[in-house]
A and B are shown apart, each in its own frame.
Chain A
């Protein structure tokens, strides 16, 4: 690869369309999707590519999201590069097969348009549904803007299909803020994209002393997804965890390769710090909120306030050590999440980040903020108020009695 970034084409598209272009550029063999609500523009646009003969993808219209991911899982087991997308309740209906896909080690790529779970019935955005998939064993990446949605989707094929990894990858786009909003997005020339993403090679496995591909092939018959009870189930879970560990260097490596090709880099592939080094107060957030928070951080820095932002891009594998390294010396940290968990001490981001810092002494005072639920606007004012509170805690050294807050909620 040369040191000069590749030629790119500027398009005015929304996040969903950016993902559809990424799937097109990835030369997907099979796409199975449920074609109506809560389906996204992703599949609508991709179906257009199929209808126009712009891609050679086998497009399977199924009767539910449960079937959509099942069809993808089957196609992937036969060696196909496979892609699907859905949103909100569609992802929830897939839940059973989401576990299956990762435990059978099939590198399906799925874009999740992150919309609020019902009920109350709501079609707008927050990250509750995707974060509810956190224990399903997929690699999970959150996108800040439509450009990142294109970039991460193409990277997802490389990461998931890497011979050391062989795991499915979810890429998340915030509902409406990214999925339906027009943005300038740079797309690679198709030939360069094809070169980057390559062809899918099946993982080779040793069974009965022989090397065979992990794929359904009549020449080397194997059984994929058999029963495993108390005798082998736990060993398979350990293998799954080890595969996730092996994904760690791969995510950074692909992020670097992408930077060489396009000139765009997302931190170390996991975390994107902005003015964190000498900060008195840091906000951690993920997805589109990071853009708003960065705008506020820049404004407050110009006023001489020592604030910083840490954007969490990759949630699985969770970058616990990297996070601790960046945050351990920060006096006060606020975690803003567009998720809601009931009856727990904070949401998933709060839980995991706070836990990652437990072993450090000193460690920051950590607060959790729920906001932007059900598509409620996340504005600069919200981040200003969070920074104000964090800086006050830094000055007084007094942490609030309970660390979790709702912002903009009416009591």
Chain B
């Protein structure tokens, strides 16, 4: 630790940080990413319901994968009723 870090009196209790969790990008260790076939997709939103990390969003027209948070677990691909999601190696 080369630079001097703040001491116990200078940091907030319980390790609290001042940003909401959405501002910390946590998807960088993913080894597989979801690829969706937009033709096949029926926009049923099953993937949106099942995503354990809220990395899939719905804007009223289409769905989007947010790869800043996707951990590549593949639950969306597993649950998709029309098999339109493939997991591809990063």
Contacts and interface: CB of A to CB of B under 8 A. Distances in A.
Q: Do A and B bind each other?
A: yes
A243 B8 CA distance: 12
A32 B20 CA distance: 26
A239 interface: yes
Nearest to B22: A221
Nearest to B6: A235
Interface string B10-42: 011111111111001000000000000000000
Given A235-B7, A238-B8, A239-B8, A223 B24 contact: yes
Nearest to B20: A221
Nearest to B10: A235
Contact of B18 (A166, A207, A231, A238): A207
Contact of A243 (B13, B18, B19): B13
A231 B11 CA distance: 12
A153 B7 CA distance: 35
A104 B14 contact: yes
Contacts of B21: 223, 226
Nearest to A208: B18
Contacts of B19: 221-223
Contacts of B16: 205, 207, 214, 222-224, 226
A311 interface: no
Given A236-B8, A238-B8, A224 B18 contact: no
B13 A214 contact: yes
A230 B21 CA distance: 21
B11 to A, nearest CB: 6
A320 interface: no
Contacts of A342: none
Interface in A203-217: 203, 205-208, 210, 212, 214
Contacts of A230: 1
Contacts of B6: 235
Given A206-B12, A207-B12, A235-B11, A223 B5 contact: no
B39 to A, nearest CB: 38
Contacts of B11: 232, 235-236, 239
B8 A222 contact: no
Most buried by A among B7, B12, B14, B24: B14
Contacts of A278: none
A242 B21 CA distance: 27
Contacts of B8: 235-236, 238-239, 242
23 contacts: A103-B14, A103-B15, A104-B14, A205-B12, A205-B16, A207-B16, A214-B13, A221-B19, A222-B16, A222-B17, A222-B19, A223-B17, A223-B21, A224-B16, A225-B15, A226-B21, A231-B1, A235-B6, A235-B8, A236-B13, A238-B8, A239-B8, A239-B14
Interface of B: 1, 5-8, 11-21, 24
Given A207-B12, A210-B18, 14 more contacts: A105-B13, A166-B13, A203-B13, A205-B16, A206-B12, A207-B18, A214-B14, A222-B16, A222-B18, A226-B15, A235-B7, A235-B8, A236-B14, A238-B8
Which 8 pairs, one residue from A and one from B, show the smallest C-beta to C-beta distance?
A221-B20, A207-B18, A235-B8, A238-B8, A105-B14, A208-B18, A223-B17, A205-B12
